[in-house]
Amino acid sequence: MSSAVRVLCPCLLLPLVLAAAPAASATEGWSVAPSGGGRPAFYAEGEPGTVLRDTVSVTNRGDEAVTVRLHGTGVPIAFAHSPVRIPARTRAEVPFTVAAPTGTAPGDRSGEIVARDTDGRSRAVPLRLRVTGPELTALTVEHVAVRGDGIAYELVNRGTTTLTPTLAVRADGVFGRLLDRAPRTLPAALPPGSRTKLTEPWPDRPALDAVDVRLTVTAAGGASDTAQASARFVPPGVVPGIAGCAVAAGGALWALRRRRRRRPHDGGGTAAEPEQPYSTAELTGAGT
**Amino acid occupying residue 117:** D
Taking the C-alpha atoms of residue 264 and residue 241, their distance in angstroms, rounded to an integer, is: 37
CATH number at residue 48: 2.60.40.10
Taking the C-alpha atoms of residue 96 and residue 52, their distance in angstroms, rounded to an integer, is: 8
Instruction: Quick: pLDDT tens for 15-49.
Output: 323 333 344 443 368 999 999 878 899 999 999 88
Taking the C-alpha atoms of residue 191 and residue 163, their distance in angstroms, rounded to an integer, is: 7
Let me know whether 123 and 149 are in one domain.
no
Give the count of domains, the chain: 2
Query: Is residue 138 within 8 Å of 159, Cβ to Cβ?
Result: yes
Confidence check: pLDDT of 84 > 70? yes
Query: Is residue 101 within 8 Å of 115, Cβ to Cβ?
Result: no
Let me know whether 20 and 117 are in one domain.
yes
Let me know whether 11 and 115 are in one domain.
yes
Task: Give the pLDDT score at 136.
Answer: 85
Instruction: Quick: pLDDT tens for 108-120.
Output: 899 999 999 999 9
Task: Give the pLDDT score at 266.
Answer: 47
Let me know whether 122 and 169 are in one domain.
no
Taking the C-alpha atoms of residue 26 and residue 56, their distance in angstroms, rounded to an integer, is: 20
Of the two residues 269 and 18, the one the predictor is more confident about is: 269
Can you give the C-alpha Rg of the chain in angstroms? Answer: 37
Q: Taking the complete model, does pTM exceed 0.75, yes or no? A: no
Let me know whether 24 and 110 are in one domain.
yes
Any domain includes 286: no
**Which domain does 156 fall in, by range?**
139-233
Instruction: Quick: pLDDT tens for 212-234.
Output: 999 999 999 899 999 999 999 98
